[in-house]
Structure 1
């Protein structure tokens, strides 16, 4: 960003967005619906251009180019802002392509809705920077693709996206793709078969990888586990693993497998549980975790590694903090899903607080974050590493967010979702523009996906979360992993970096054999 104040930039400056009346998005919806939207839908089931209610459902499902919010108030402001920017792209004309954000926007879990709003804010900010500051073709139109609660309408939405590859403003990448589960894997597989380039934002499961056309900006669960174990210097053979056996949850399963690899000689048997598969439904886990807490008290364990989603984690931390041996003091390590708990009002925060007469909190909860706003900013207690990322890259996002916040709502960045959504969009834009080169034509789909293996060395993505140096399978190599601690007051405090390879990347991000 630039140091000038408001009004001191040209018309390309991000802060000029504040001059756009978001109320004009309604007119934009009509214009874009005619110019770019899919065909006329059944008026009895239609929600907006490209979006309708499937038989037997009241959810608005489909793909919108107009900033339609699918009836979800949580994303309304940022969706309208995206619609307004899309309208500006259409009005100005010239070479333009579409990038779709595919998510279950009409999910019912409150924490999931907040996460999606934050991630969509990051996408929007990167769209603005691409269109207003960088001045390179093609311009970027953002599509919102709602797969419905639990992603159950993934197939129809994915097929709709495939059909948009030949639109007047053609689809050239899909991002979002945020949940590591069976539905996401199926959707990614279908997009891959049709040659659609993809950039996963928060998917970390190891078995959603090496898929043609897919790049990711978040570390794999294996890399998260390596970083956590490296950070947990006091881990001994008494450390114990608690894991989810939910068959549809690729995140929990591959995180468990990754912890198993990093903890091969543990004394105690791991403790299983089975979640409901619903993001905010704990089912009977209170009783299950009460029993597991009793087992832990029978051991000498002080460290627990947890492979599961945020709702089971919330219940587990609460039960462990109430256990008869809680004064022993436990440290729980887990994956990035823990970021949801910062805003979870149902968490028993007393479990994370130090009580009078006790030497430490009953439970210390640390997790491998995807991003954190304090990671690359120097402070009295933290000097960022010389490689792996930069403060300048983060400050660019932070500055843009401060300018558009009145249009898209509050955001503290601490859950990392805006940062990682921004970086996924940055990767998609870089792939599209490098495939376009000096030509005045829309790049072929295959030319975009061909860029992913080359995003390393000097062509790395300078992400706000850190360098994104992709390997030949589309995964970020040795990506910076911030270790974050959730405290009793709900704050998400940055504890320091850990690296999957045990050290930061080389200064040129080029890895040499041997």
Structure 2
């Protein structure tokens, strides 16, 4: 052994290698977090463990566990279980759902559970178990659900995620197993074929019609450019773009542009799209893409004098709600470029003082200052993005379907049949929900919101008006 290969030098070299590996591991984890991969402390199929899905969800998970424990203790044998599934892990570009949306979604589900279990006669009472249907764990979650569904008396699954290929897989598997499902934010028309699935949100086809009505109100001589994400695995962007293009009159179509959200730098392409739009005679952009790439388009439009002079209006669908959070720096510059979107729900219906779209009993569940309302149970949260409201309503629809079986606790296939029977009409916190025989919400009031460059939203109008 030479002098340079002695034990001290070897040990030092190994120490450097260990430190290097540690630094690399830290960098990798940091990049994963920045890239949108969720790293909760641990993933468990079907649980109410407050530590299961990360610190940001622990507060609502504590409340769910406390309510479950109370129900089991005070009403043994007189309860059913509804499972809440969210994509707790995965790239944001895969799951298209922020942690804020998941948190508020769980909070809305808890509000529906809490108020249900406080009714004078609430039998069967409701437990909630939470699981992940993210890309890496949905199969394990469904395997656990298979093994525990009978013992836990699982009658329905709610939440489910957004209109993505990953969500489609888990819904297809649940449908094959005859589970009843109530989806909160799945709007793609391509999900119509799944038996047992009921949706509380208006479909993309409905939203596209309302968007075109809105665009014509803004610009009676409409000249629109459709900007569409070409990702074939994202059913939301595909169907929204198709319906935008299909609903326009030939003389209203200025251009149809695409970008690939999966490319290395989609923002560069969107910048080129903005240049082409500004060099055209368009007065409107119909954006059929996910929220995370929209700021690049808005920044490109607001940086060009021709678009500013024409005061270009950008209109999109409900996914824009994911941008409803304070932004610094602002997402785009000149505010002559305005952005509107069709939301799934909004607090305007809750705030209306007169009888209208939302009945008083539902308003009480979300109004500020009311005992055990959403804003009382979760101070500091916000209802303007509609996520707590629409997930509450999906849970509430499942409960209402269970209640139709007045003299028995139904099985999951019974509830699935009821959800898609065409007979359910529910007064939810987002307004009246009519579920047709295919499980789709029909004739829904659609709020239109304006999003500011700082991430703030302003109620504009109801699309039904």
The two structures share one fold, judged by TM-score above 0.5: yes
SS in 1 for 2:437: coil
Cα distance in 2 for residues equivalent to 1:469 and 1:284: 42
**Structure 1 or 2: larger helix share?**
2
Cα distance in 2 for residues equivalent to 1:285 and 1:424: 34
> How much has 1:395 moved relative to structure 2?
3.1
Cα distance in 1 for residues equivalent to 2:192 and 2:371: 31
Aligned position for 1:269: 255
Tell which deviates more after alignment, 106-115 or 467-476: 106-115
Aligned position for 2:19: none
Superimposed CA distance per residue, residues 468-494 of structure 1 (whole angstroms, 9 cap, x where no aligned partner): 101111011111100001124432111
Cα distance in 1 for residues equivalent to 2:210 and 2:189: 15
Cα distance in 1 for residues equivalent to 2:187 and 2:197: 13
Residue 170 to residue 347, structure 1, CA distance change in 2 (3 Å)? farther
- Equivalent in 371, 376, 381 of residue 345 of structure 2: 371
1:279-428 equivalence runs, <5 A: 283-328=264-309, 329-343=311-325, 345=327, 348-351=330-333, 353=335, 361=336, 363-378=337-352, 386=356, 388-398=357-367, 403=373, 408-428=378-398
Contact persistence 1:180–1:203 (CA under 8 A): yes
Contact persistence 1:376–1:394 (CA under 8 A): yes
Normalising to structure 1: TM-score of the pair?
0.76
Aligned position for 2:20: none
> How much has 1:134 moved relative to structure 2?
4.8
- Equivalent in 81, 87, 108 of residue 98 of structure 1: 81
Residue 471 to residue 71, structure 1, CA distance change in 2 (3 Å)? closer
Kindly indicate whether residue 150 of structure 2 is the aligned counterpart of residue 166 of structure 1.
Answer: yes
Query: What are the ranges of 5 or more consecutive residues in structure 2 without an aligned counterpart?
Result: 1-38
- Equivalent in 182, 198, 211 of residue 181 of structure 2: 198
Cα distance in 1 for residues equivalent to 2:385 and 2:127: 26
> How much has 1:264 moved relative to structure 2?
4.0
Cα distance in 2 for residues equivalent to 1:326 and 1:348: 18
Superimposed CA distance per residue, residues 421-477 of structure 1 (whole angstroms, 9 cap, x where no aligned partner): 110010011111213x123xx312221112124565xx5110100111011110111
SS in 2 for 1:260: helix
Aligned position for 1:474: 439
Residue 302 to residue 69, structure 1, CA distance change in 2 (3 Å)? farther
Contact persistence 1:197–1:213 (CA under 8 A): yes
Kindly indicate whether residue 48 of structure 2 is the aligned counterpart of residue 66 of structure 1.
Answer: yes
Query: What are the ranges of 5 or more consecutive residues in structure 1 without an aligned counterpart?
Result: 1-56, 277-281, 354-360, 504-514
Cα distance in 2 for residues equivalent to 1:195 and 1:202: 21
Cα distance in 2 for residues equivalent to 1:213 and 1:352: 47
Contact persistence 1:215–1:475 (CA under 8 A): yes
Superimposed CA distance per residue, residues 245-300 of structure 1 (whole angstroms, 9 cap, x where no aligned partner): 11211110011111112114144330000102xxxxx9412211111111112210
Tell which deviates more after alignment, 259-268 or 425-434: 259-268
Superimposed CA distance per residue, residues 38-82 of structure 1 (whole angstroms, 9 cap, x where no aligned partner): xxxxxxxxxxxxxxxxxxx98733323333342412111001110
Superimposed CA distance per residue, residues 105-153 of structure 1 (whole angstroms, 9 cap, x where no aligned partner): 24565970001111111000100011112522111110110134xx332
Aligned position for 1:187: 170
> How much has 1:352 moved relative to structure 2?
5.6
- Equivalent in 397, 401, 404 of residue 434 of structure 1: 404
SS in 2 for 1:207: helix
1:130-141 equivalence runs, <5 A: 130-141=116-127
SS in 2 for 1:137: coil
1:468-507 equivalence runs, <5 A: 468-499=433-464
- Equivalent in 224, 240, 243 of residue 228 of structure 2: 243
Contact persistence 1:225–1:259 (CA under 8 A): yes
| Aligned residue-pair number | 418
Cα distance in 2 for residues equivalent to 1:134 and 1:239: 54
Compare CA radii of gyration and give the structure with the larger one.
2
Contact persistence 1:62–1:160 (CA under 8 A): no
Residue 453 to residue 389, structure 1, CA distance change in 2 (3 Å)? farther
> How much has 1:347 moved relative to structure 2?
6.5
SS in 1 for 2:450: strand
SS in 2 for 1:366: strand
Normalising to structure 2: TM-score of the pair?
0.84
